[in-house]
Amino acid sequence: MNTEVTDLYKSSFIKAVILANKELFLYINNELKDDDLNYSKQIGFGGDKTLNIDLIAENIFIKHLSNFGNIYSEECGKLSTDKIFDIVIDPLDGSDNFSSNLAYYGTSVALVYKDKTLAGFICNLVSGVLTYRAFDEKIKKEYFFENRDSLLVSKNKKMAIFERAYSYPEICTKLRQIKQKFRSPGAVAISLCDSKNYDFVLFAGNIREFDILASLYICNDLFLYKTDKFVLISENKQKFNQIKEIIKNN
């Protein structure tokens, strides 16, 4: 991939992702309808039931991003195969949370070139904060609310995140035995993206690109362990090794 193409995507692609997230953020906060929370007749490509808001969110991202690459979405699958870039999106990470009025949901976008991730974007649609890392640059944030710069990374970590904990009672028992507090909030991409805020973030279960690709790129400077069943991210090497030993036996 030549420098000219890279420079183009640094500016126009990043801008397009920001605009897509901002449009969805404004829709959810200003235009949401009762019917948006109903299930459509469509079953998503990932196998889950699809809410109308899932399709609305997906269409917003397709509108803004389809010119840049082949869209690969949790809802529609892969759209077109004739472009050199793939764009892997989860248009509404935490759909069940959203439909249940649980304030923890967002979006995920990853830009991929020849199986290499070039950029990752995670938007928390509740806080109005878009976190992204693009083209090996430092992590940046875009704030859809005013005066959000006070959102700092915690230096006194007391909590971990264990997504899908309900499916792994044995691991939950071992975490309790070492007196590890954890929560399972139900939006995998957001949880993984925010790994620096916690002792660790552990995701267990059916691992799909939609859920993890953008977050793994954003957190590529942290300790990472990934198998076909687990993703573990932590900034703390000692904690990382401790949890890794626990899950390796499950």
pLDDT digits (tens, 9 = 90+) for 14-63: 999 999 999 999 999 999 999 999 887 766 566 667 889 999 999 999 99
CATH class of 160-248: alpha beta
- Would you state the pLDDT for residue 108? 97
Query: Average pLDDT in the 128-148 region?
Result: 84
- Would you state the pLDDT for residue 45? 60
Q: Quick one: pLDDT band at residue 92, thresholds 50, 70, 90?
A: very high
Share of the chain above pLDDT 90, in %: 70
- Would you state the pLDDT for residue 42? 67
Domain limits, the chain: 3-143, 160-248
Q: What is the pTM of this model?
A: 0.91
Q: Is the pLDDT of residue 178 over 80?
A: yes
Widest CA span of the chain, in angstroms?
A: 54
pLDDT digits (tens, 9 = 90+) for 182-225: 999 999 999 999 999 999 999 999 888 889 999 999 999 999 99
Check whether domain 3-143 has CATH 3.90.25.10, yes or no: no
Q: Is the pLDDT of residue 154 over 70?
A: no
Q: Quick one: pLDDT band at residue 228, thresholds 50, 70, 90?
A: very high
Taking all residues of the chain, what is their mean pLDDT, rounded to a whole number? 89
